[in-house]
Homo-oligomer: A and B are copies of this chain.
């Protein structure tokens, strides 16, 4: 079995177990059996850390139902990294070409080759962030009866960028809380950055500490290209998103137009943080202006960083595409990012991710426009992009989708999480590489 297939089936297995568990009456607060589509939707949404919900997580599910959801989120969030790493370590065999492609796509991190310690450090990092978040959130939620459970659930959900909330209005009650606007963003941003960037930042901080405070003479930490791109692009996108949302809904009283200026800023900031993959919301999405919704869609599709808990096209893909554009404008034939040349196969992969993603988004949007013709177009496009990029924001239509529409969204969440190229790779039989060297020919483009 190829790695691509293993990843695809692994996710299906976890989702299946989750679906079966969520069917049972013990998982609902009114003790009734869940209908299969609700169970499947919730399990998929949790394992894929998407956060779209057809029912209100906080009221529909019992404590046990919520616990299962939280386990699925944790497995889904950790799984992407550790399962893959584990598979690689266990299987320990030579990979054929087709497997290499799959690994390349799910796992091409030079940094992550080798040791079993890696898995342990990934789990440890997750635990440290989740526990820190938990303690900080107990303070935020101290006026609730079930403070502990709320803090634990939201900390894990935020770190894994899952976007599931036990409040039926997500975090809208905490719109103006400075505390909430700091704790959640930190969990979300670091969770979305990916382990490699976090490790390198940690190593760098440690080295600086040893050098400056302990006066030790240690080796300089050189950031990998991945970490540089991921951290810089994330910062730029966070800034642009804040400005964009601040402007589009500045005077929209149904979002934050009637709040004091600094609270409008907080709302825009939180929306900028959450949109690219987390999926919590501190403002009322369904009342956003078309401009705000459309910019949300654009940011959702861009997504988070690879090897983190987020989805979308990924910041690295975006950066390669932008720098390719700059290269062609300058008449250059190579793509440079931070004084490093980007290999052609990575450019092709970025193009592949983009094209396959747009084809999927277009097809799914058209299909849902057919299955649910009563919905407005922007609601459909929003829902589809949210599902694909495992964001979980919604204009509120998720629960009222037709059964067929729900199944299509389930498939979209799955493909978005596993990775579109990996899914295609599993479905399509690759041909052996050709040894023929074809001549070049010029062509008219654009």
Contact = CB atoms under 8 A, between A and B. Distances in A.
Given A333-B345, A334-B344, A317 B370 contact: no
Contacts of A97: 331
Contacts of A221: none
Interface residues of A, number: 98
Nearest to A320: B445
Interface stretch (A176-184, A257-265, A287-295): A287-295
Contacts of A101: 328-331
A206 interface: no
A430 B326 CA distance: 10
A290 B347 contact: no
Contacts of A235: none
A441 interface: yes
A216 interface: no
A369 interface: yes
A192 to B, nearest CB: 13
Interface of A: 97-98, 100-101, 104-105, 108-110, 194, 196, 224-226, 229, 244, 248, 289-291, 293-295, 298, 305-307, 313-314, 316-317, 320-322, 324-325, 327-337, 339-356, 362, 365-367, 369-370, 373, 375-378, 380-381, 419-421, 424-425, 428, 430-431, 433, 436-446
Given A289-B370, A340-B441, A343-B440, 7 more contacts: A108-B442, A294-B377, A295-B362, A325-B348, A328-B349, A328-B421, A346-B443
